[in-house]
Structure 1
Amino acid sequence: MMKALRPGIRLCLLFLHVLILSPVLTTAQEYDLDDLPEDDYDFSGPFYSLATQKGYDYFGPPQMFKLRIRHQGKYAFMDREGKIIGSFYDFVLDYKGNVAAVNRNKKWGFINENGEELVQPRYDLTDDFYDGRARVYLNGKFGYINREGNEISPLQYDYAGNFSNGFAWAKKKEEWVLLNRQGKEVKSFDLDGVQAFQKGVAVVYKKSRQGLIDTTGKAITRIKYQTIYPFRDNNLALVELDKGEWGFIDKTGHELIRPIYEDAYMFSGGLARVKKDGKWGFIDSTGKMLIQPQYDHAFDFDPKSGKAIVASNMEYFFIDRSGQPVSNFRWSVKKDEQGKPVYSLPAFSKGMAIVASSASLYIIDDAGKYRKPLPYAFASSFSNGRAMVSDGNKYGFIDGNGELVIPMKYNDAEQFYNYVAFVKEGSVYKMIDQTGKELGRFDPTIESSTHIYRDNRILVKSGGKWGYIDISGQKVIPCKYDYAANFSEGLAIVKQDGKYGYIDPSGKMVIPPVFSEANSFHNGFAAVRLATGWGMIDKTGVLRIPAQFRSAGNFSNGIVEMVTASDKAGFYTLKSRLTERGLPVLEEE
């Protein structure tokens, strides 16, 4: 059975949609300076000041020393002197690799760092450049252009993936075609699906089975595996056969470690954990069993400490690479409601964690060398260098050494988050810092709160409505909303007149309330629902993925999974993995 910690790789055949640019933002969105990369922080302020002086809305942080701005409904880039680079467009995307995508009259093109048009806006969709090539889409067909804007292949494909390792996959009718960097077709294949090339090999699919090919199109393995996982630094890939037999292959397709194990995980710290006859042990990259299967459960070796946590007889302990226990210390494995073991790693923070052994609590380090008993009835995990503890009556906080640094005097308390903790002393709720200093307190009129501190705002409810206070406890955004959420990436959802929009920390409505449902921003995007379905907006309020899906996930590593309604397949399969531009992606592309 596949485990949650081992991401599965399954094909998701994807098709295309037409990107809808629907600007719903009417006021500027100021980027939270706390979120800026350190390299950008020093020069962001002057950019923002210049944009404000000129009356521009702006969207930071600056990229390539250029700030994306909007004026009178049009978008452009401004340099550090306040000059507009090139022209205004209906929409622009941030620079990536000295080029930026621009949109005019619902068509996409590219400009260079001087604002000159490398590719006039003429495509329905464009993607970023990979290996110096970008896929483009026009009139229902895909093709590729180079950085000079020249089409290196005709726009003739029903689907096209990004270039990777100098090659790309495209689909023409029922065949998958392998293309080189010149846009030439290397070979065609009768396959059900493919993955992008990585380290010179690609996974291909046929009848729910997987195999490998090289860049010449030559088959490296037969198409027989249930799953082929990515190759790691040791050039080995974990594979699974139909009957749940696990092993490893090298890049020549040779089963260097035959699939004879009941379960297995990828290599970590030079060793891989494998399961045989119901017990876990460890093998090296040659397949030699260095630590015999003997444990009820095992976790990966830590490459830094050279230690691993294993479990036997409902107890955890550390072992070294020879399989010897690091110490005699053991701690307890938790059970579920049915009395079955629940295996999980300790919640280490800055190398320290709190665990339970019998009826006692201990602080341990992540190398198994340090432990210290704690004289408390309860202790939370560490957060921001503090752990909440209780004697069964009052609450306080300890540091990583187990020292009580905030006295045990609170009737209730919560863990630190963003270096602020919410505590209750008597009948008063307060906010404290890591030294225990009071930062502010709740007004008696506050009925409830999420107790989450972000962007110097705390969501509270008063008089049946939601609003926000700052860290001192002052009401800075009136409690007037039927619904509100915590701030996330500088914006918060609020409900006004039955619709959802987004405000900034000043309380300004920066994305108007036009959505029937909305989610918080995550990695620069938020899922929103209109009458036509779910889509994704960016922080400018523009729909970057059209609102036509039954459900939407969150962006992670530039990819989001969207689910179509069963009666609205259109250009999509049931589940589609899409880029920030709404383009489909191959698995692991």
Structure 2
Amino acid sequence: MRYLFVYWLLFWSYNISFGQNDKKYINNKCPYFNKLIQEIKSLSSNNNRKYALALNKLYALREYCPDGSLIIEKEIQDIISKMKKQKIDLEKQVKQNNKLISRFSFSHNRAWAYRNGKFAVINRIGDTLTSFQFDNPQSFSVNGTALAQKADKNYLIFNDGRVSEPFIYILPTNNSWYIIRGKNGVTFLDRKLNKVSNWDYYDKIFQSYPFFKVLKNDKWAIADKNGNLSTKLSFLELDEIYDKKSKEVKNNYIWCARALNGLWGLVNLKDTLILKAEYDEITTFKHGYANIKKNNKWGLVDSTGRIIVSPQSEKKVAFNSNGYFWIYKEKKWELINKNNKLILQRQFDLIDQSQEFTGGYIWVGIENKLAWIDSTGQLIDKQKFDLPDGDATGGYINNQGHKFNNGYAWIRKDGRWKLVNSKGDFAFDSTYINVQNFIEGYAWVEKTNKWGLINMKGEYIIKPQYDSAKRLGNGLNQVSINGQSKIIDNRNKIINLPERQPDTNLKSIFVLPFKKKVDFLDDLARINEYGEHFIINTKGEVIVDWELHNKQMTEKKSKIK
């Protein structure tokens, strides 16, 4: 027994001397080792609990001083144990407080917990701030409030658990106000649920940005955002008809108003009827003009209320951004300008539905043939071209599929397609069964039931050989033959495009000590744990502390500037 004690004493003395020599050896090679270890212990202490930062420093220290790896690994395991314990303690705390929560998602540090079919507000440590009494809750907003229902009433819940009075409805606005319907009617409340000054109670409030339409006692008016009435409560209906993109109407907002006589006029923000209420219908403004209807005839008015065309057209006056107006009488269209001067006499059966000078021209139909006019009003109808199939009824024509491009367009004559210039002359003699528009100077055409590629001179670049074809741009085409599809260039050479490969670098791994599945890309992932963000590798080791990373990137950007 005596000998055993002597051996044990010698072994213990040897280990003490070896450990002291080992620490001296580490201190000689890594003079700041002990100081760094103390700093890391301070970070991971119960007072600080900055575990992610501590782990980050330990991994860096391991690279700096590999001879101290035994001590470093012990510290790493201690911190991981503390992280596990902290998570277990939080879980126990929730269970001990009997927080029987089945699902919750935090927004601005508050969440809705669910139990026995009802919701309550909780904070991040699991305390319930309201009782379980609400239905259909919404997430908490940045101003610290959320909406919920109870017994068919709507409530506003504050992040400290306070609950508002019941409302028939309550909706948040984009300026941190609320529009509510209560026992007195509809109005606006501020974020403290006080009624916004100047805003009265109304039967209805509708936003008509940047104004509001308000209804009281079956009469409508316009109000600004502060509740000041721009018009009197004197109209049966009010419709927003101004064109927000129109230069003429900018800052000159007008509304279509139905007066007590049941007819429509135009009212501005000065409560002035700029157009008397004597019309059956007024359309929305476009390009600064709107159609007006009276006694089943249509006319045109501008944004100042000036009558441009008196009600006389059997269809709505057609117009465009160039200041030309089409009037329909006795089943024919005539063209006038904004000064009411006749440009083209009444002779057109059909006019282009778009009304815009696409490529500098507008399509028209005369005696069941297609023609066009240029932006000066000149008519081009040399060849008496065919009308497009189908879309040539009701006084309108739709030929947008083949519009003018660089002064050329595809036109049908006698059932065959030909390329024509803006003067009505054929570009070349060839005709086709079907055609596609030119892209980058080339177009696919169908002849003898096969498709070929031609240039603007009508010369074949690729002879007809494909069952179908279309231009892709950038010199590429998609074609098919005998059911096989392929990509070719303009020289008929097959182009093998690289196929998109699935991203095989994305891995979902169950990572310790976090006890969760994390999606990794190139063996790295960003994770949020214990209130901190950091980047880890597949072993769960912290590679980058996110807060430190953002700080470093900010410093780099400031140096560059």
Structure with max Cα Rg: 2
Q: Under a length normalisation based on structure 2, what TM-score does the superposition of the two structures give? A: 0.49
Which structure shows the bigger proportion of residues in helix conformation?
2
Ranked by relative contact order (alpha carbons within 8 Å, sequence separation 6 or more), the top structure is 1
